[in-house]
Structure 1
């Protein structure tokens, strides 16, 4: 179904930075975005046409949102798939990606099983509902292993490597409702932003992601790996799209597994032969932090692609304009939560290749994503240094503005 453009309205459950950048991308196409979020004056408000202040699972409020929209979507996995499905059916408004896809993604065990059944490569995994299951997982998967809460994890929260049942109890407490995965020895973390349209699909270039303390710090595009690995990562991302239902953008996080070495130092296998060298870590049914580089780096950003897909429009060109690096601007890990304002913008922008994106959050918390910078050029190593320099020029100082209010519901 193709929506009237200009003139269409997208209703978004969630009004954080993803909703903000989605609204910015929708505006040139003549598409309005209305967001629903429990935080008054949420980050998406300035570019969005309007905000409904309500919880992500508020059925009455989502019904009101559906009355104002031609299509519903979500920018946060805390949305309730049952409510979205019911409201969409009652209002005759499509929901994309589908509520079934959201159900699959919300439960990491269900997600792993769905991908394994579809032939998508994932780490070996086991369900854990108690200590006996965990001990069996150690026997099957080795020690240590990665233990993940099946639901509710975000930015690495709810995930931790554990070496014993005692270690797991100390970290997690109750051991019901988890999934254990082999602890993958990987060369690097990759991602692919993929988009499913109305009868067509596309993938963006493979991205290399640098994490610290489970938080994405930098993305480098194209990924600094072999052509064979990039090809295989794109193939796996395409398989993920085929295993999920509904239109829109998906952020597909991947591991490039380290190859075992023979005595002569060779790996003894080709990195692109489908032998499990590339594994799916997790999938987000929405635009993704590792795809923010596409705003400056590609012909059509992940956010424009999401709008096109939701409205049934032909997809745009995903080609990379030039090598690109994105660096997240995060709250200081040791700082107290407080209202804040950003300092150092003139210094960061002295480099004329730097673009700054500020998310409009009034409260800074430790490691909270407050914005990002992007550098586009020729040499990825140089771009990484420039992006880091621009990011490091930025800092936060306490605000004295009386109108600042906490916005604790936004990640």
Structure 2
């Protein structure tokens, strides 16, 4: 497939910030990107060659996209795996990651079962479709437990720690199509960006993540843990990637337990928020890597250039309003700080609007710079 670079065209279902950064990374390779997204002039539209305005599960629009590109991929799990499969069959356009990968990872019960069946460590779990199932889960898994919607949850939506059936009902409405997980006593949250190429598997350095209200706030690389945990996290990530059918980048969220074990939390079949540090922090960004992998080209080097910190720029205030930034010049004046704006016109509370990355001679320096740059930026 080497004749496709330059000159290849990649179709992306989803046009949010991940699609934007994919298109930015593809351009230097001579690769064009077309996106499908229901929001006109979505965040990915400026660097993309064209946008099809349609819902993520619009089968006709997905076929149109497939007919115009050399390979289909996705940046959001709301993409329809069956629509992707049918579009590929009709047009001959390959899909990476594979629709089967999306089917598994978008269903938290199917994901947990597939990992457990492969001998990959996960928290104990139970299926919940009614009140009696949750009562049994409390008996087996303990109280409190983590309750997750099997489909559609992201950025903390669809996840809740619950002590009682009443609490669960208040949060979810009906206790149907859920998965209960034993609450993990963890030392820290980790992640590994893994990539499956046409003939190789690669991993990026182990990252340490800090969440609040289930939303990622900060990523530190390398993770502040011992070498044995780094090695185990990388080994588990490689085992996860080996289970995937298609090519591309996968974000693998992990727990380091208090006794030093590694458990898989969730898998994203796409570039991941905790991998944004790779743009400045590693030799090859996760976005360029994804383009390389889905087109079947050699993978890039994943080594860390320097200790790196990434912080998300989240929407402030209590109301939706136009996104008017201030303080960007102050942030850009800080040495080794890099500001990324996602081009979203409206700011909402805790909406991911951008991120700041900083490198440094040590992780403490990088972290201090990244947070100072983030704190300098505000919404008027």
**TM tier relative to shorter chain:** over 0.9
Match of 2:221 in 1: 221
Counterpart mapping for 1:350-361 below 5 A: 350-361=333-344
Cα drift, residue 165 of structure 1: 1.1
- Within 1, Cα distance between the matches of 2:368 and 2:305? 20
Partner residue in 1 for 2:274: 290
Aligned residues of 1:3 and 1:311 also touching (Cα < 8 A): no
- Are residues 3 and 83 of structure 1, via their aligned partners in 2, closer, same or farther at CA, if it must alter by over 3 Å? farther
Q: Deviations over 1:35-55 (max 9, x none)?
A: 000000010011111111111
1:131-162 Cα distance to aligned partner (Å, 9 max, x none): 11111111110000000011110111110100
Query: C-alpha displacement at 1:166, in angstroms?
Result: 1.5
SS in structure 1 at match of 2:177: strand
Query: Which ranges of structure 2 fall in alignment gaps of 5 or more residues?
Result: none
Deviation at 1:34, TM superposition (A): 0.3
What TM-score does the superposition give when structure 2 sets the normalisation length?
Answer: 0.99
Pairing of 1:80-229 with structure 2 (within 5 A) = 80-229=80-229
**Residue 94 of structure 2 aligns to a residue in which SS?**
coil
Alignment partners' CA distance in 2, 1:382 and 1:5:
39
Structure 1 equivalent of residue 358 of structure 2: 375
Alignment RMSD? 0.8
Structure 2 partner of 1:341: 324
- What residue in structure 2 maps to residue 384 of structure 1? 367
Contact 1:353/1:375 (<8 A) preserved: yes
Distance 2:280 2:197 in 1: 22
Contact preservation (8 Å) 1:3, 1:312: no
TM-score, length-normalised on structure 1? 0.91
Take 2:118 and 2:189, find their aligned partners in 1: how far apart are those partners? 22
Please list the CA deviations of residues 286-327 of structure 1 after superposition, one character each: whole Å capped at 9, or x if unmatched.
000000000000000000100000111100000000100001
Mean Cα deviation higher: 9-18 or 336-345: 336-345
Q: Secondary structure at the match of 2:292?
A: helix
2:48 aligned with 1:31: no
What are the superposed Cα offsets for residues 208-244 of structure 1, whole Å, 9 maximum, x if unpaired? 0011111100000000001000100000000100111
1:3/1:70 contact within 8 Å kept: no
Aligned residues: 380
Offset at residue 3 of structure 1 (A):
5.5
SS in 2 for 1:306: helix
Spell out structure 1 runs of 4+ moving beyond 6 A. Answer: none
Structure 1: stretches of 5+ with no match in the other structure: 260-270, 272-276, 398-411
**1:199 deviation in Å?**
1.1
Say whether 1:278 aligns with 2:262.
yes
Give the deviation of 1:2 after TM superposition.
4.8
